[in-house]
Amino acid sequence: MHPAINIVAMPHLCRPHPFKTRLTTRWYRSLGGLVCALALGSCAGRPEAPIIALVTSSDEATTVAKLEALLPADVLLVGEQHDAPEHHLIEQQIIAALASKGLLAAVALEMSDIGPSTAALKPSATEEQTRRALNWPEKSWPWTDYGPAVMTAVRAGVPVLGANLSRAEMPNSMRDATLDTRLPGPALKAQQQAIRIGHCDQLPETQITPMTRIQIAKDITMASAIQQAVLPGKVVVLLTGNGHADRLLGVPQHLPADLQVKVIHLRAGGAGTSAPSDPRDSVWATPALPVIDYCAGLSKTLKTLAPKP
């Protein structure tokens, strides 16, 4: 049995990490079917025309062609695995393609808290000026991963927005029982299970509800940032983890129904993945990543940070 743990004081657990994004990838692949089954067939009758794409090399022409197949859209969610370099390259290519056509309204980021923005910067702004404008959290999100995508937008004169829930708001979210009502019952249970799996089934059960509330609060916050950036005839791009991009559980659940929302799921080693549950979604499979036992590292962290008897 796990002792009590102060989760908010542990940034490793409150932000997505490779151990979470890799483990939950398998879970999210089959999530659509599970939620629909729990909802007693409420998903029946959906058109079955999902896009499955194997991206063996991230050349720009391939990315542009697959992107054009998804448009038009008001909002484009790009769900990544945070430790996949190929995904960061594809994100930069997506932003460059939209910006070059004058279609990019804004880029919203899970990686930066809501509030900071590059809107006041000139296209000639330096990377250091851009990092300062976004209050960039280097320890959590290496700039080398996201800088190319961010700077592509800045150079095009397109605002980049922080979109995530701030750490200061997390304690309130953990206690906010109204967040339990923001997802349909089956989706809430599925989200709770994703939290368990994403943390290697090592979190105390008493922490599942608070952690799920944080996840939902993050999704609501990102959806709010997106809505504020929407422009007619243009696309707001959100760069985030695959869990937040999930149509049944994540940010799309909190966006207005009249917005045309498309989702790209970038999946490392996902060539054999099943189709997404919604035809508005697209799965882009990229080469597999080296096998790393992130659960072992999490177990060590939990033992180290748990209070001593």
Other beta carbons within 10 angstroms of residue 299's beta carbon come to: 13
Q: pLDDT band at 306, cuts 50/70/90?
A: low
pLDDT of residue 15: 52
In the three-class reduction of DSSP (H, G, I as helix; E, B as strand; rest coil), residue 283 is classed as strand
Partners of 229 in the β-ladder:
none
pLDDT of residue 296: 80
pLDDT of residue 307: 64
Q: pLDDT band at 275, cuts 50/70/90?
A: low
pLDDT of residue 12: 45
Helix extents (H) in 142-285:
143-155, 170-175, 185-198, 208-229, 242-245
Span 73-130, pLDDT tens digits: 999 999 999 999 999 999 999 999 999 999 999 999 999 999 999 999 999 999 999 9
Alpha-carbon distance of 56 to 211, in angstroms, equals 35
Q: pLDDT band at 56, cuts 50/70/90?
A: very low
pLDDT at 55 over 60: no
Span 145-189, pLDDT tens digits: 999 999 999 999 999 999 999 999 999 999 999 999 999 999 999
Reported as half-sphere exposure (CB side, CA atoms, 13 A), residue 281 has a value of 22
- Percentage, residues of the chain above pLDDT 70: 75
- Percentage, residues of the chain above pLDDT 90: 68
Q: What is the pTM of this model?
A: 0.83
Calculate mean pLDDT across residues 252-278: 84
Nearest to 259 by CA among 243, 238, 236: 236
Q: pLDDT band at 293, cuts 50/70/90?
A: confident
More confident position, 49 or 12 = 12
More confident position, 279 or 24 = 279
